Structure 1
Amino acid sequence: IMVNINVTEPLVSLIIPVYNGEQWVESCFQSILEQTWKGPLEVCVFNDGSTDQSMDKINSYGEKLTARGIQLNIHSMFPEPKGCGFAKNRCVERSKGNYLCFLDIDDVMHPDRIKAQLSAAMQLPALTLIGCQITREPKDATVRYTRWINRLNSKQLLTQVYTSHGPTVIMPTWFCHRSVFDLVGGFCEDGKGVPEDYIFFLRFLELKGELFKVERPLLTYRHHAGATTFSVLESTIWKLRLEALQKNVLSKWEKFTIWNAGKQGRKLFRDLSATNKAKVTCFCDVDVKKISKGIYIYELSKEPIKPKIPIVHFKNANKPFVICVKLDLTDGEFEKNLHSLNLVEGVDYVHFN
C-alpha cells in the first residue's frame, strides 16, 4: 500500500514516553537538536507519572527547539505511571506527523537518523516498519545481542522473530508511516511487565506488514539497570513467542525435529499443544551422552502412555527443524553443523533459541 503525501515536506513526529528519565534528557534532546533533517519536526512527549525533574529539564529545551523550528508538545494526564504502552499510545494520538519516529529518553540518535530512515520510508510501501543498526552503550554490554541486531539480513528479519531476543527490528529504532500504528491499533496497555513492543510487532507481521533495516548505526542504545525491559519476565516472552511459533509455523508442518535434546528442547516439547507434540519425530543433538540415552520419556505427561521421543545425531534427523540452540556461543561449531545440511532458513528450519 502506497500513501500519497507531500514528499517535499513530510512532518515527522518524535514519540518519546518519559518516566523518571532526568539523567538522560540532556543527551537525548541534544541529539534531536543535532539532526541533519531540517524539514518539519515535532517532539511529542508523554510524561508517565514522573516524580523526578524530567519535565523541568525537557521544558528547558523549549526555546532551543523553537529556534530550530521544532515544536515541543508535552502531555501528562495521570499522577501514577500507566506503562510504556499507554504512554506511547497517548503520544501518538496527540502527534500530527505523517511519519512516527520512536525514541526512548535513555537513547541517543545519531545525526542522520531521521534523514536516513525518512528517506527509506518514502521509497517503501507505507506498511513497513523500519529499523537500523545500533551502537551499544556501554560497548561491552550484551555483545551477542548487539551482533545479532546488526547482522540480521533482510530475510532473517522475518525468519528469526521467534527467538528470545524479541523483535528483529528493535523498538528503540522504529520509524514508520502513521498507517502502521493505525493498522495494529496501537500498543497493549496492560501495564508494567508487558512487552508491548513485541506484542505490537507480532500483530503487525500477522497483518502482513513489512520490515526493513537501514544497514548502518543510527542510534546509541543504552543498557542500564533501570531500563523497562528488565520488568518483563522471561516466561512472558516465552509464552508469546511459543504461541506465535505454533500459529504461524508449526500449524503448517506435518512433522518436525527439535534440535536440542537438552533443557530448552525438552521445555519446548512439554509446552507444545497436544497436536504439535504428536508432530515431533525426534530430538537431535551432537552431545554423545544425550544421544546415547536413545530416547526421551515425558514422565509428567497426563497421557496413559507416556510420550517417548527418539534422540538422534543431527545428521540422522529429518527436516524441518525447530532449533533451540543459542546462536553465536560455540565458536561457530553449531552454525557450521547447521550449514553442512544445506537447509533454507524459514523453510527447512526456524530458530526458537
Structure 2
Amino acid sequence: MNPPKRLRIISGSEALTPTGEQRRQEEEEAAVDVSIIMPVYNASCWLDECLQAILEQDFTGSMELSVFDDASTDDSRKVVEGWRGKLEARGISLLMSHHNSAQPRGVGFAKNKAISQSCGKYLCFQDADDVMLPQRVRLQYEMSLLQPISLIGCRVRRLPEGSTERYTRWINTITQDQLMTQVYTSHGPTVVMPTWFCSRHWFLKVGLFDEGGKGVPEDLLFFYQSLRQGGGLSRVNQCLLVYRYHENAATLSVTEETIWKLRVDFLQERVLSHWETFTIWNAGKQGRKLYRCLSPVHQKKVKAFCDVDENKIQKGFYTYEESKEIPKPKIPIVHYKDASAPFIVCVKLDMTGGVLEENLNSLQLKEGEDYYHFN
C-alpha cells in the first residue's frame, strides 16, 4: 500500500510558482514505470510482429511506447500509427515523432529523441526488427529495481536459427563475472544492446548516445562510459528476446577497425595502466597487431609473446620493425608453459576445440586477475 499523502496549504505566489521539490514530485507522479524506447528506420516489414509482442507483455505496471522515426522512406510511421488504438486499449500510451531531413541521422540520434520525449522511470530498449517475449519487461524491471545503476540484459534466440552461432552462444553462456571480464572481446558489449534495460536516472548520469550516425558504435561507446561511471552489468538468465539477424542491421555498418581501436584504448585504460608487465598470448597476427596498437608506454610493458606453435617459438623473438627506436625492440617468444602472468589472450574463444581453455586452466589462472581475453 502507498502511504497516505500529506496535504499542505499554500497561498500567494507559492501557489502560482511551484518549488523545485514540488515540480520533482509532480514529474514523478506523472511518470510511467517503463518507457519502451524504439528507434525506427524502414522497419515496416517487422513492425506488426514487434508491436504485437509489446501488447502481450505480462507486466502489470504502467508502460508507454516511445517511437522516433529516422527519415524512413517506407510506411513505417503509418504502420505504427495503425497500432495506436490497440496499444492504448491495453493501457500503453504511444509517443511518435520524426524529423523532416531527407537523410537519416543515425541510431544514436533516434534513441536520444525517443528517450527525451518519454517519461518512464525505467527504459526498455527495443529494436523494431526484434520481438520481445511476454515476460521481458516484467523480469528486467524486477531486476532493475534491485540494481538501479546496472545495464540489465537477457538471453536471446537468434533468427534465422543458426545464424551467428558462436556469437549467440557467447551471449547466452558467459557467466555473471564474465559480463565484466570479457568487455574487451571483439563481440562488443557483453550485455548486447537489443536487450538493454536500465533506470532513466542511470542513463542520464552516463550521458546521451553518440549521434555521429552511420558507422559509429553508439552502443559500445555508451557501454564503456557506463563502466567508467561505475555502472554494473547483469542478465536475466532466460530467453526474453528474439534477436533478428539480417543484412540491413545497423551494427553491420560499423567497421572492425573502429571497434578494434575502441577496445585497445579501453584495455589500456582499465587494465594495462595497472600492470607493470604482461605477456601477450599469441605470437601470430592478432597478438602482433595488438602490440603495434599499444601506446609506447604499454609496448615497453610487454615482456614476451607466448604460443603453442613450435615454428613461432623457434624464431625466438618478434622484432618491431615499424619502431623508430634504435636498436628496434625485440620481444621474446616462449611456450605458454614458460611464460608468466598476467596475460592478454589474443586467441579466439570457442575456436580451438577447448585446447585454449584447457591450457589456461592448466596454469590455474583466474580470469579478470591473471588474464583477460582480447580476441
Are residue 234 (structure 1) and residue 256 (structure 2) matched? yes
Residues 5-51 of structure 1 show CA distances to partners (whole Å, capped at 9, x for unaligned) of: 999x9510000000111111011111101111132110000000100
Residue identity matched to 1:107: D
Whole-Å separation in 2 of the counterparts to 1:328 and 1:305: 39
Counterpart Cα distance in 1 of 2:270 and 2:334: 27
Question: What is the aligned partner in structure 2 of residue 91 from structure 1?
Answer: 114
Q: 2 CA distance for matches of 1:206 and 1:335?
A: 29
In the other structure, the counterpart of 1:104 is 127
Q: Which structure 1 segments of 5+ residues have no match?
A: none
Q: Percent identity?
A: 55
Partners of 1:345 and 1:6 in 2: CA distance: 42
In the alignment, what sits opposite 1:279? 301
**Which amino acid is 1:132 matched to?**
C
Deviations 1:44-63 (A, max 9, x none): 00000100011111111111
The TM-score, its normalising length taken from structure 1, stands at: 0.96
Q: Which has the larger radius of gyration?
A: 2
* In 1, Cα distance between equivalents of 2:161 and 2:338: 41
Give the C-alpha shift of residue 159 in structure 1: 0.4
Q: Is the 8 A contact 2:32 2:64 kept in 1?
A: no
Normalised TM-score (structure 2): 0.91
Instruction: Report Cα offsets for 1:110-149 as digits up to 9, x if no partner.
Output: 110001101111122x211100111101111111111111
Alpha-carbon deviation of 1:288? 1.2
Residue 142 (structure 2) aligned to one of 109, 119, 124: 119
CA distance in 2, matches of 1:135, 1:246: 33
> RMSD over aligned Cα, in angstroms?
1.5
Q: 2:58 aligns with which of 14, 26, 36?
A: 36
Q: Which runs of 5+ in 2 are unaligned?
A: 1-24
The aligned residue for residue 265 of structure 2 is: 243
Q: Distance in 1 between matches of 2:154 and 2:348?
A: 23
2:173 counterpart residue number: 151
Whether 1:82 and 2:105 are equivalent positions in the alignment is yes
Deviation at 1:106, TM superposition (A): 0.6
Selected match of 1:323 from 345, 355, 361: 345
Aligned with residue 196 of structure 1, among 209, 218, 235: 218
Amino acid of the structure 2 residue aligned with 1:250:
L
CA distance in 2, matches of 1:326, 1:59: 45
In 1, the alpha carbon distance for the partners of 2:267 and 2:357 equals 21
Letter in 2 for 1:140: G
Give the letter aligned to residue 326 of structure 1: K
Opposite residue 120 of structure 2, the aligned amino acid is G
Displacement after TM superposition at 1:78 (Å): 3.2
Supply the AA of the counterpart residue of 1:182: L
CA shift, 1:332, in A, is: 0.6
After TM superposition, list the pairs within 5 Å mapping 1:1-353 onto structure 2: 11-79=33-101, 80-124=103-147, 126-353=148-375
Regions of 4+ moved over 4 Å:
4-7
Q: 1:66 Cα shift? A: 1.1
Tell me, in whole angstroms, the C-alpha distance in 1 between the residues paired with 2:322 and 2:252. Answer: 31
Aligned residues, how many?
Answer: 348
Deviates more, 1:295-304 or 1:59-68: 295-304
